[in-house]
Amino acid sequence: MSEVITLSVPADAGYLTVVRTAAAAVAARLGATVDDIEDLRIAVNEACAVLLAHSDPGASLDCRFELDGGRDLGFRVVVPSAHGEVPEPGSFAWMVLESLTGRVAVGTDEHDGVRTAHVAFVRTIGVAEPA
Amino acid sequence: MSEIASLEARKAEARVLFARLAELDADDPTRATVRDTVVELHLPLAEHLARRFAHRGEPHDDLVQVANIGLIKAVDRFEPERGLEFSTYATPTIVGEIKRHFRDKTWAVRVPRRLQELRLAMTRANADLAQTLGRSPTVAELAVHLGVGEDDVIEALEAGGAYSTVPLETENDDDAPGPSLTDTLGEEDTSFETVENLASLRPLLAELPERERRILLLRFFEGKTQSQIAADLGISQMHVSRLLARTLDRLRTGMLTTQ
């Protein structure tokens, strides 16, 4: 059973604090440690910030958190972007995201003539149950 | 030895050491050793100055670390031929470094005092619990330990971040390539070669202060956790988090402008 939290903020660096705090609050529900939260906040910030740089004027960052019922927290951010530029696998931003989260996916889409770029990752949260 | 006598002895020793430094060629390997000795000799001065800024919401260890960076800068910039005692010269440099540390942390939105106090308590609780548990504590564990709600913990974590809506400091800032801290931190940057493959990153990494670069490599290329890095470097986890966030911002900005 999965739970989804969506959040839309103006594509402006000043609003990233809202997304980071939401990420921390969602992660806390999964029993996140401080390490998890600090990594997650940096990852969320990085994912949004790389997209911000190429977002269309006046666009919104659409963020989606997904809880899978276990210890995995998924995050996906999408922004309209005519450039459609996303971090390439092997780039520094990619490596940062991968080392903070484990699983990263990026890409571009086009719907009704609007190009969007997205970054997504999954991070396993919390302390493993003792065997 | 009385305190005054020991101060005088330290001044005399500093004069001898700086005279030796002046004689040595820039690439003489013994330079590093002499330089380290001068730094070590003045660590009590840095600690003393750091203590002046106690009770202002920053962990003591972080302030000492910042003061030590100021000290190293002073050692590298000192010109004995001007006739000043080193300690006279170093004091304003160290105090300046500490003040800059506070200034850099001026938040875009002013953080209420209650939050600052909570953050301070949390820095301590985080270290204590990590010690007891052998791992990073959860938000729930911190909340119980501090007797506050989980929301307060989350809020305090955010307030402790380096994130700010103001632009990054300008380039000619004192943060420019600092003196090498590698000697004091030990160990080589084994992962540097991996990173060097990323051509666009190389010049930016080279511009980073030694400590920031090291934290970056430890976290992203050697897979150490923030708490492990904090323990290795003897600073708080929040400080590690802050430095990481700031460094990433800086690299991202740098890469965008060089494109």
Q: Over 70: is that where the pLDDT of A97 sits?
A: yes
List the single residue in A17, A36, A46 with the smallest CB-CB distance to B158: A17
What is the Rg, in whole angstroms, of the alpha carbon atoms belonging to chain A? 14
Q: How far apart are CA A110 and CA B169, in angstroms?
A: 37
Predicted confidence at residue A64, as pLDDT, reads 97
Q: Over 90: is that where the pLDDT of B75 sits?
A: yes
The full 3-state SS of B43-97, as one line of letters, equals HHHHHHHHHCCCCCCCCHHHHHHHHHHHHHHHHHHCCHHHCCCHHHHHHHHHHHH
pLDDT band at A78 (very low <50, low <70, confident <90, very high): very high
Q: Mean per-residue pLDDT for B155-164?
A: 66
Mean pLDDT for chain B overall: 77
Q: Is A123 on the interface with B (CB under 8 A)?
A: no
Q: How confident is the model over B96-148, as pLDDT tens digits?
A: 888 888 776 654 445 566 777 788 888 889 888 988 998 899 999 999 999 98
Q: Over 50: is that where the pLDDT of B59 sits?
A: yes
Q: Is the pTM of this model over 0.80?
A: no
Predicted confidence at residue B24, as pLDDT, reads 86
Strand order in the sheet with A103-111: A3-10, A60-67, A72-80, A114-124, A103-111
Q: Mean per-residue pLDDT for A114-122?
A: 94
Predicted confidence at residue A59, as pLDDT, reads 94
Q: Mean per-residue pLDDT for B91-98?
A: 89
CB distance B180 to B189 below 8 Å? no
DSSP state of B138: B
> Would you state the structure tokens that stand for residue B255, as one six-digit string?
């890469």
The full 3-state SS of B158-180, as one line of letters, equals HHCCCCCCCCCCCCCCCCCCCCC
Q: Mean per-residue pLDDT for A19-42?
A: 91
Cα A114 to Cα A11, A85, A108, A118, A119: the distances in Å are 16, 14, 10, 13, 17
Task: Write out the DSSP string of A33-92.
Answer: BHHHHHHHHHHHHHHHHHHHTTPPTT-EEEEEEEE-SSSEEEEEEEEE-SS---PPTTSH
Q: How far apart are CA A37 and CA A28, in angstroms?
A: 8
Q: Is A114 on the interface with B (CB under 8 A)?
A: no
Mean pLDDT for chain A overall: 89
Per DSSP, the three-state class of A32 is coil
Residues with Cβ < 8 Å from B196, sequence gap 6 or more? B202
Q: Over 60: is that where the pLDDT of B172 sits?
A: no
CB distance B201 to B100 below 8 Å? no
Q: Is B138 on the interface with A (CB under 8 A)?
A: yes
Q: Mean per-residue pLDDT for A50-74?
A: 92
Q: How far apart are CA B91 and CA B112, in angstroms?
A: 31
Predicted confidence at residue B192, as pLDDT, reads 46
Predicted confidence at residue B115, as pLDDT, reads 72
Residues 51-110 of A with CB under 8 A from B: 53, 90-93, 95-96, 99-100
Q: Mean per-residue pLDDT for B70-97?
A: 89
Q: How confident is the model over B178-204, as pLDDT tens digits?
A: 333 333 333 334 444 444 446 667 778
Q: Over 90: is that where the pLDDT of A94 sits?
A: no
Q: Over 90: is that where the pLDDT of A92 sits?
A: no
